[in-house]
């Protein structure tokens, strides 16, 4: 079984430029999370999807961040425009809701804004 797939693994952009990250969760996992992990810190939740619905986006900075999961499978997280403080690792995780299975994480996308 394939794990959670994220791309790209690394991205370097100049500030004020847009950037997008893609995540393909494990097949059958209806819950999808996007996290941001700053250096030396724990992951912080940005948004949680149940199927195609964003059930919690309270921590998503909506002035510059957006996300979508149109068909309830893969998801895209976008930042426009990027700021220096957005440099972090962006993690995607998925879980099969209503089960005792844990969340599985992708390798993450390391974003550097210069």
Cα separation, 37 vs 44, in Å, equals: 6
Whole-number minimum distance, CB 49 to other proteins, in Å?
A: 11
Secondary structure of residue 15 in the 3-state scheme? coil
The residue from 66, 76, 87, 107 that contacts other proteins (CB under 8 A) is 107
Please, which residues have CB within 8 angstroms of residue 87's CB and are 6 or more apart in sequence? 111, 112, 113
| From 21, 33, 65, 90, residue interacting with other proteins (rule: CB under 8 A) | 33
CA torsion sign for 9, 92, 14, 18 is: positive
d(CA 47, CA 33): 6
d(C-alpha 45, C-alpha 47), whole Å: 6
> Residue 91 Cβ, how far from other proteins at the closest point, in Å?
7
Using CB under 8 A, count the residues that bind other proteins. Answer: 24
Query: Least distance in Å: CB of 94 to other proteins?
Result: 11
**Under rule CB under 8 A, residue 2 binds other proteins:** no
22 binds other proteins (CB under 8 A): no
Q: Residue 41, interface with other proteins (CB under 8 A)?
A: yes
User: Which residues make up the interface to other proteins (CB under 8 A)?
Assistant: 31, 33, 40-45, 48, 56, 91, 93, 95, 97-100, 102-108
């Amino acid at each position: 079984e394939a794990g959670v797939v994220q791309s790209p693994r690394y991205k370097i952009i100049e500030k004020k430029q847009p950037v997008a990250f893609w995540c393909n969760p494990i097949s059958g996992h209806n819950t999808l999370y996007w996290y941001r992990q700053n250096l030396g810190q724990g992951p912080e939740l940005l948004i949680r999807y149940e199927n195609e619905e964003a059930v919690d986006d309270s921590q998503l900075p909506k002035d510059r961040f957006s996300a979508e999961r149109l068909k309830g499978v893969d998801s895209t997280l976008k930042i426009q425009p990027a700021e220096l403080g957005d440099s972090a690792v962006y993690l995607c995780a998925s879980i099969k809701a209503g089960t005792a299975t844990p969340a599985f994480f992708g390798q993450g996308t390391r974003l550097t804004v210069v």
